[in-house]
Structure 1
């Protein structure tokens, strides 16, 4: 079978985590299907890749029309985004026919009439993926009024009805969903994630790696350091913030206001060996500390899974079913806006390294057994194959 993974995300955007997840899923599909294609967006064009064992091979590009070219300075940027999305869907329909696509996997595709026309294709196995589910609160928090009007929920039920399968990445196991839903959690691609080197020193380094948004809640760690240093502590604690993002300016401003420039270091974007070096020097990582700001109590962020694969203990403020309460390498703090209690984090970490001196190796082993995309996508692939056989049976009767 030929499978096409379509994701209307910017390949050249700063949010590299989304693209990494999509490519990881495509690599899993490649082990199961004859031909796998990836269709995504760029600044002024859409691009089609063929997924090969040695990486992505670009095979075609599709220019957006002039009206839909992204313009950072435009007051109607969101409307232009909608026009770009319409162009993206037009080319998607061409690709389906040109490359004899059997299975269409759509990641977080806004509901429009064009999309419904594509999903009306009875020969295709059609899968929708919701990267966060339930999505309503986060959707309201992260979308403009224009986007809510254009991409609103009024057509989502129609889209779901036209799909053969809905894959929902959810923090909750027992949601009451339609029978065509499969609930999964985020996974990771372990290749390329090097295990952290453990080192002992008389100070602590905290670490976050993210395209920083309001729901990461990293202001809580900065405020926590402010409270911590008021007490003139013996142990120094530093916070290393890696990445860019919309919330970075606010974090820098808060750091300056609280006179913490010595203890809060902003590294910007780091990748490859440069990122590995920062991780090696850090002791504790920070997952999302502000999920509640999106109206959510739980989730399955990729970064927490990557921390686990790298073997660095981490702090979170949400529920995550991949890491049970008995999992010793995660420290949970309250799901609110209170400053992080640095003393309690230190106490937890010092106890952890006494009880688990080889914690990095233990965490990596857990990731290999529980967090890979192969494990997460297995029920999805089984269902796709089942649906394909059913469509083939119907077409011959």
Structure 2
């Protein structure tokens, strides 16, 4: 049986993490016995790739197009792949409903009416994100960006009534929901290919507690809360209390803002900005650090539930972590510390106690990694999605 993961994610370096997720989901389906492919964009071409990332086909479109013209060209190429492949299941990566997804779904159904089409909603509820987008556009007086976001909202409003004609199921990241747009929905976790992430190795400590944050492009990381908590901890710590250092990976405008904040708080060596790191370099950092920091700022985008990809990677690596949102994680797991989903500074003294408890459990990394293998591996998650959409019995 044949599976197609539809994405228009670019192969450019800054989108490597997103494309890694696309490939991971596709490989998870391949592990279930399907012939699985995915699409991505490389310059002015759309690629059809196998689950292992090797290129199968390429379709070119004109360069220099305006945004909506480019989206139309990409959708046309992907729709041709969907029609030519006569797939049994098509999974479309999305956010809001849009005519390009609808075009691909229709193409897949037209050549194979039995094809099960699944549309992914990356964040639910989604309007909090768009309110923030528009707020930022207003602040920056970016008319072009605002026009683009308003166009996406208009496309969503005009496309939603037609989605149920071609889409069999929704795969939703975020708040639990069973039906949306008149379509059955399943809420799923973000996942990882656990076997491709090296397990954390126990390393000797010099007494300093090292926290690691891997920042994406969203303000939802909320890492300024850690910086503010560190400033408070430094003022109040007793001589015998351990030093704490927060090491931040990433290279974008949110990082520059955090650098300025760290300087204004006079954190000195208590914070370090490491720039961009690849997967191998991150693995080394996981070994060196005591705990990682997941998203702490989802209150800024009006969300309560979240399933961040980075927290799943932390879990697979076996590094304990902090988080500030509702998740499918049991509240009593020893390897994760939940903090309030608000703007308050992180209680670093409480984090120190959490890390010290983790250090006293030599088996904690293995337990955490096993939890990831049982719950967050893409093979397990995608099997649930296919079964929900009525496609699992085809494999």
What is the TM-score when the length of structure 1 is the normalising length? 0.86
Aligned: 1:81 with 2:67: yes
Cα 1:160–1:337 change in 2 (3 A) is same
Equivalent residue number for residue 223 of structure 1: 228
Check conservation: 2:105, 2:167, Cα contact below 8 A.
Answer: no
Specify which structure has the higher proportion of helix.
Answer: 2
Equivalent residue number for residue 138 of structure 2: none
Equivalent residue number for residue 379 of structure 1: 384
Equivalent residue in structure 2 for 1:207, among 187, 208, 212: 212
Give, in whole Å, the separation in 1 of the partners of 2:191 and 2:75: 27
Check conservation: 1:8, 1:109, Cα contact below 8 A.
Answer: no
Aligned: 1:342 with 2:344: no
Aligned: 1:101 with 2:87: yes
Cα 1:44–1:110 change in 2 (3 A) is farther
Equivalent residue number for residue 66 of structure 1: 63
Equivalent residue number for residue 301 of structure 1: 308
Give, in whole Å, the separation in 2 of the partners of 1:32 and 1:311: 25
Equivalent residue number for residue 71 of structure 1: none
Equivalent residue number for residue 126 of structure 2: 135
Check conservation: 1:186, 1:301, Cα contact below 8 A.
Answer: yes
Check conservation: 2:45, 2:60, Cα contact below 8 A.
Answer: yes
Equivalent residue number for residue 116 of structure 1: 102
Give, in whole Å, the separation in 2 of the partners of 1:65 and 1:146: 23
Equivalenced residues, count: 373
Equivalent residue number for residue 21 of structure 1: 21
Give, in whole Å, the separation in 2 of the partners of 1:7 and 1:49: 11
Check conservation: 1:5, 1:26, Cα contact below 8 A.
Answer: yes
Cα 1:136–1:82 change in 2 (3 A) is same
Superposed displacement of residue 241, structure 1: 0.7
Give, in whole Å, the separation in 1 of the partners of 2:382 and 2:88: 18
Equivalent residue number for residue 139 of structure 2: none
Check conservation: 1:140, 1:148, Cα contact below 8 A.
Answer: no
Give, in whole Å, the separation in 2 of the partners of 1:167 and 1:194: 32
Q: Deviations over 1:122-142 (max 9, x none)?
A: 424322111222222123324
Superposed displacement of residue 279, structure 1: 1.2
Equivalent residue number for residue 252 of structure 2: 245
Cα 1:184–1:111 change in 2 (3 A) is closer
Cα 1:115–1:179 change in 2 (3 A) is closer
Give, in whole Å, the separation in 2 of the partners of 1:32 and 1:371: 15
Check conservation: 1:196, 1:276, Cα contact below 8 A.
Answer: yes
Q: CA RMSD in A?
A: 2.3
Cα 1:66–1:174 change in 2 (3 A) is closer
Q: Residue 286 of structure 2: SS of its match in structure 1?
A: helix
Superposed displacement of residue 361, structure 1: 1.3
What is the TM-score when the length of structure 2 is the normalising length? 0.87
Q: Deviations over 1:49-71 (max 9, x none)?
A: 122xxx22112333332332xxx
Cα 1:267–1:61 change in 2 (3 A) is same
Superposed displacement of residue 224, structure 1: 1.2
Equivalent residue number for residue 166 of structure 1: 169
**Which runs of 5 or more structure 1 residues have no equivalent in the other structure?**
69-79, 390-397
Superposed displacement of residue 377, structure 1: 1.6
Q: Residue 14 of structure 2: SS of its match in structure 1?
A: coil
Q: Residue 130 of structure 1: SS of its match in structure 2?
A: strand
Give, in whole Å, the separation in 2 of the partners of 1:348 and 1:340: 13
Check conservation: 2:318, 2:364, Cα contact below 8 A.
Answer: yes
